[in-house]
Amino acid sequence: MAKTSELEAAYRATTYRVFLPGGQFELRIDSASPGLADWLETAGAPSFAIITACNPGSERSDPAKNAERQSALECDLLEGNYEPYAAENVPDDAAWPDEESCFIPDIALVDALALAEDYGQNAIVWGGADGIPRLAWIEDCEK
């Protein structure tokens, strides 16, 4: 699905909550998180991504299918030697359900985009050591 201003607005109107050792962080797109930057520095992680397998293509899916896909994503991450942490995407619009997701420290953007593409996602949240979460669109990924 192509990037649209409606999708971008929806993704920006979401809190990306991550649960890490030592604390929970509430992230918003393009908003600095000094606490996350400190955590990344301590962890020695130069980058991070937040990826979900839920609701591929931003189309609402059955909760059981979402849970099955999310479990498969977590297995893929572990098999890829990543250390995923629990996260959830909480939209401002209560009409859309919260989505379980994974916070993955120390993952390259191209790898995160490829993984998300495997799960039918339009975009991911990605950032560097500065702890600023940004949208990265799958369609912008160089093949």
pLDDT digits (tens, 9 = 90+) for 96-140: 889 999 999 999 999 999 999 999 999 999 999 999 999 999 986
Euclidean distance between CA atoms 72 and 128, whole angstroms? 26
Model pLDDT, residue 1: 39
Q: Which residues contact 119 (CB under 8 A, 6 or more apart)?
A: 51, 52, 53, 56, 69, 72, 73
How far apart CA 143 and CA 134 sit, in angstroms, is 20
Asked whether the whole model's pTM tops 0.85, one would answer yes
